[in-house]
Amino acid sequence: MDLKRMGNQTVVFANPPVILASHSVVGPKEGQGPLRKTFSKVWKDQLHGEKSWEVAETKMLQEAMQGAIDQVGFPKEQIDFMLAGDLLNQIISASFAARQMALPFIGLYGACSTMALSMAVGSMLLDGGFARNVLVGVSSHHDTAERQYRFPTEQGTQRAMSAQWTVTGAGSLLIGKNGTGPRITSATIGRVVDYAESDVNNMGAAMAPGVADTILNHLNDLQRKPEDYDLIVSGDLGAVGLGLAAELLKKSGLDMGTKFTDCGVMIFDASQDVHAGGSGCGCSSVVFAGDIMQRIKIGELKRVLLVGSGALHSPTSSLQGESIPGIGHAVVIEA
């Protein structure tokens, strides 16, 4: 069998996996943003009746995954793998959701890039012949992430203007070997790139080099130009990181034009006081499962490049003086 690869980093699917269903659940703030009508469900508050934010995040992820399952006409037993991850230590939201789903579980960690990473790995398992269907689910929760990564949530610490707002949201996709729907046609797994940014209030700057590196390699591997895509969307660089990524790409001779945007820029508007935009792996998962999937389905977007961006640090590594390694994972989705 020939290798399903092109160039250095890109895999190309022989039988592109099909996105059979998508579901997104978000918190109240996301439900007031510009994409509010594209989400499957908006929670009225951050706890949703649970005893802790962590339990609420697990429930949100379960709800998103169950929502995707409910849209297809086959039993859960036809799903061969669940691929999931989140931002919490030991990815407990995904692990506890996996306990409830009782499906063979592959835990992934790519920080905010986890959605694109899960879609890429899931697609390889499908196209490789190892599964009939896979369930992808990725979440973040503003309050669980803030208190783990930064300050006690109740403290109300003033945020830097370059800081992003961790999205409360869970997105899920049910991807199949057969069926009709948008297809995942290729994927580019990123390398870690670190430009020595160490400011944890400026994740966008830390992740921009990794995203730029993956976009360059992706286009080079497939011999494509930015114009070959209707949308190139990172998730989630925010406004600061998006500008920096565009600048880095320009220095490499690539003008990204107006079709280059970011899930963290799309999900909130200026009036919502989120500074540089949204972040957290829930952000790209709900923007993709919501808005982008809708626009692909109605024919507005024919070919999309989703580039998940991850800041692969921890509070411990930052306190020990390490810089923040960034990574970008890309998947191509076609109508």
Contacts with a copy of itself by CB under 8 A lie at 1-5, 8-9, 11, 14-15, 51-52, 54-55, 77, 80-81, 85, 88-92, 95-96, 98-99, 102-111, 117, 121, 124-125, 127-132, 148, 188-192, 194, 312-317, 320, 322, 325, 327
292 contacts: CB under 8 Å, gap ≥ 6: 231, 233, 301, 304, 306, 333
- Between 210 and 290, name the residue whose CB sits nearer to a copy of itself: 210
- Between 110 and 137, name the residue whose CB sits nearer to a copy of itself: 110
From the CB of 64, what's the least distance to a copy of itself, in Å? 18
From the CB of 184, what's the least distance to a copy of itself, in Å? 13
Assign 84 to helix, strand or coil.
strand
- Between 4 and 150, name the residue whose CB sits nearer to a copy of itself: 4
From the CB of 297, what's the least distance to a copy of itself, in Å? 28
Alpha carbons 42 and 36: distance in angstroms, whole number = 8
Name residue 303's beta-bridge partners.
334
- Between 39 and 81, name the residue whose CB sits nearer to a copy of itself: 81
86 and 97 Cβ atoms separated by less than 8 Å: no
From residue 182, give the alpha-carbon distance in Å to each of 68, 179, 210, 217: 15, 10, 27, 24
Instruction: Centre a 10 Å sphere on the Cβ of residue 215 and count the other Cβ atoms it contains.
Output: 27
Can you read off the two tokens belonging to residue 134? 């896979």
- Between 81 and 268, name the residue whose CB sits nearer to a copy of itself: 81
49 contacts: CB under 8 Å, gap ≥ 6: none
- Between 11 and 274, name the residue whose CB sits nearer to a copy of itself: 11
From the CB of 118, what's the least distance to a copy of itself, in Å? 10
Q: Phi, psi at residue 178, to the nearest 5°?
A: -125, 160
Alpha carbons 22 and 294: distance in angstroms, whole number = 10
- Amino acid letter at 216? L
From the CB of 13, what's the least distance to a copy of itself, in Å? 9
From the CB of 131, what's the least distance to a copy of itself, in Å? 8
From the CB of 258, what's the least distance to a copy of itself, in Å? 29
- Between 173 and 189, name the residue whose CB sits nearer to a copy of itself: 189
284 contacts: CB under 8 Å, gap ≥ 6: 112, 113, 115, 116, 138, 171, 233, 235, 236, 263, 306, 308
- Between 124 and 231, name the residue whose CB sits nearer to a copy of itself: 124
From the CB of 102, what's the least distance to a copy of itself, in Å? 5
- Between 191 and 224, name the residue whose CB sits nearer to a copy of itself: 191
From the CB of 246, what's the least distance to a copy of itself, in Å? 23
Transcribe 252-312 into DSSP letters.
Answer: TT---GGGEEEHHHHSS-GGG--TT-EESHHHHHHHIIIIIHHHHHTTS-SEEEEEEEEE-
From residue 169, give the alpha-carbon distance in Å to each of 145, 204, 325: 12, 19, 24
Can you read off the two tokens belonging to residue 208? 């921009």
User: Cα 218–238–306 angle (5° rounding)?
Assistant: 30
Helix (H) or strand (E) holding 313: none
